[in-house]
A = this chain, B = another copy of it.
Amino acid sequence: MEKTLTLEALARMVEGEISGDPTLEISGFGSLDSAGPGDISFLVNVKYLDQAAQSGASAFLVAKDVDLEVDNVVRVDDAYLASAIIQNYFLKRPFRTGGIHETAVIGGGCRIGKEITIGAKVVIGDRAAIGEQVEISAGAVIGADVVIGDGCTIRPNVTIEQGCELGERVIIHAGTVIGSDGYGYATDKRGFHVKRPQLGTVRIGDDVEIGANCCVDRATFGVTWIKSGTKIDNLVQVAHNVVVGENSLLVAQVGLSGSTTLGRNVFLGGQAGTVGHLTIGDGTMVAGKSAVHGDQPAGARLAGVPAIDGKQWFKSVTAFSRLPELMKDVRKLKKELARLVEQDESITKEG
């Protein structure tokens, strides 16, 4: 089961340049302090140069501009990225087919792959479709008509409500809820809130990862859609009819209000939020704790409540801490000016 790879093959995997022995056999990946003979390690920060020199690793992944004097080095554009690729290569194991645990409850008319692991106490509703190499962990509840693509991982106590669809290689961490009702009411004259039926579903693309205890609400009509490659941290709220573009990043405790549309590679920092019905362009980055109140062009850099241009916000927030001083200055200016005006008037009169 042990994997080995020559330094040359490994360098090809990460588009790197070798200095040293291309035929060197590498059999594992480790951090600078844990790596031993046969392992490759990585260096992302020059402040660890000494540690690298002391490391037991047989080879190193380093950025092209780093001057590490050891025998075997693979130079890459991005050592952090390269190390993730190599580490994943060495960690990847063939899918372990555990079958369906005897305590799992599977509904009628389900289509379930052959190579699957369905844990204890899992409940799967009628007509669900589960692909190959899917792992569903203990206590997860999968509603009727749910579709789960090949290679998905569903952690414990996750709930996926009726009719939601996951692409391939989706990872959903423990406690997350996919397909809860959207928050929609019409209020009558007495102030009572009449629930609007939430009839849509949730669609999740390929290679999406969703953290623990998140909520993704189903659409009122149509779908709430998280597109391929997007990665969501813990405790994130995605409201009904939101569309999140490809490869976006939503850090912990972000909240997206209803019908918000995010472009590709959008980044929202922790605890940031958006008001509803916005369109946020590709590649926009929003600082943590910010609140986006209006549509945003592609590539915007935003911060604040409401969010403004990040650089402008930084200047304003720096000024904010000097506000009391500023107020004093203005009070003083007012007094001095008043005195001056008085004086001038007397001069003018005298004049």
Using a CB–CB cutoff of 8 Å, the interface residues on chain A facing chain B are: 31, 34, 77-78, 80-81, 83-85, 87-88, 91, 101, 103, 105, 119-121, 123, 137-139, 141, 143, 155-157, 159, 161, 171, 173-177, 180-181, 183, 185-189, 191-197, 207, 209, 211-215, 217, 221, 229, 231, 233-235, 237, 239, 246-247, 249, 251-253, 255, 257, 264-265, 270-271, 273, 275, 288-289, 291, 304-306, 308, 312-313, 315-324, 326-327, 329-330, 333-334, 336-337, 340-341, 343-344, 347-348, 350-351
Contact = CB atoms under 8 A, between A and B. Distances in A.
Contact of A247 (B157, B192, B196, B306): B192
A341 B340 CA distance: 7
Contact of A237 (B120, B209, B252, B329): B252
Given A119-B123, A247-B193, A344-B344, A253 B237 contact: yes
A145 to B, nearest CB: 15
A341 B333 CA distance: 11
A96 to B, nearest CB: 12
A112 B251 CA distance: 38
A159 B157 CA distance: 7
A257 B194 CA distance: 27
A310 to B, nearest CB: 12
A326 B330 contact: yes
B138 A264 contact: no
Given A180-B234, A234-B215, A330-B326, A194 B288 contact: no
Nearest to A173: B180
B186 A157 contact: no
B156 A174 contact: no
Given A173-B181, A195-B209, A213-B215, A289 B273 contact: yes
Given A186-B78, A257-B270, A85 B194 contact: yes
Contact of A194 (B81, B221, B350): B81
A194 B80 CA distance: 10
B333 A334 contact: yes
